[in-house]
């Protein structure tokens, strides 16, 4: 059994579909050339690996083995456009998280409000017949005691 080591290993294309959709959204035809997509993907992968490497070097200088989102601004400090975009995305992400927390708390309060041990049957009976001091419309009125009339 001989192993063929001369075979080229095919690159895994992670972003091909996304790049093709972006090209179409930016005015390219519905089907882009494969060479265009491959060239853009190669550039993207190279940029991401360079960015990751620079961020990893910064994290190691801070005695950490893992990178954090907080390390990216230092890496992008020389590119104000990318830095401002990163800050905008982080800000929007925090706003979305806060809105989700508020929404979840409101849902929880509504669920707790509905779970109270109220007897619904008793409420229906009270609505069906007015009490002595209520008019049929449900409004309370004062009993007047007029003197002289009986």
What pLDDT was estimated at residue 109? 78
Question: Cα Rg for the chain, rounded, in angstroms?
Answer: 34
| Mean pLDDT for the stretch of residues 27-44 | 93
Write down the pLDDT at residue 111.
77
Residue 100 and residue 94 in contact, taking contact as beta carbons nearer than 8 Å? no
Distance CA 69, CA 138 (A): 61
- Please give the model's pTM, rounded to 2 decimal places: 0.58
Of residues 111 and 116, more confidently modeled: 111
Which residues contact residue 40 at a Cβ distance below 8 angstroms, ignoring those fewer than 6 apart? Answer: 19, 23
Asked if residue 49 lies in contact with residue 41, where contact means CB atoms within 8 angstroms, the answer is: no
Mean pLDDT of the chain: 81
Kindly give the interhelix angle for 16-25 and 34-61, rounded to the nearest 10 degrees. 110
pLDDT digits (tens, 9 = 90+) for 57-114: 999 999 999 999 899 999 999 999 999 999 999 999 999 999 999 988 888 777 777 6
Q: How confident is the model at residue 143 (pLDDT cuts 50, 70, 90)?
A: low
pLDDT of residue 66: 93
DSSP 73-139: HHHTTT-HHHHHHHHHHHHHHHHHHHHHHHHHHHHHHHHHHHTS---HHHHHHHHHS--TTB-TTS-
How many CB atoms neighbour CB 64 within 10 A? 12
So where are the chain's domains? 13-67, 79-111
Output the pLDDT for position 134: 53
**Mean of pLDDT values over 130-134:** 54
């Amino acid at each position: 059994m001989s192993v063929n080591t001369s075979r080229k290993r095919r690159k895994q294309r992670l972003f091909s579909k996304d790049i093709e959709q972006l090209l179409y959204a930016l005015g390219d035809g519905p089907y882009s050339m494969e060479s265009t997509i491959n060239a853009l993907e190669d550039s993207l992968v190279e940029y991401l690996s360079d960015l990751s490497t620079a961020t990893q070097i910064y994290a190691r200088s801070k005695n950490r083995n893992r990178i954090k989102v907080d390390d990216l601004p230092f890496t992008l400090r020389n590119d104000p456009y990318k830095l401002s975009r990163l800050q905008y995305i982080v800000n929007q992400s925090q706003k979305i998280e806060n809105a989700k927390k508020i929404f979840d708390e409101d849902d929880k309060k509504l669920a707790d409000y509905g779970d109270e041990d109220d007897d619904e049957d008793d409420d229906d009976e009270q609505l069906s017949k007015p009490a002595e001091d209520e008019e049929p419309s449900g409004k309370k009125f004062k009993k007047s005691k007029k003197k002289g009339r009986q």
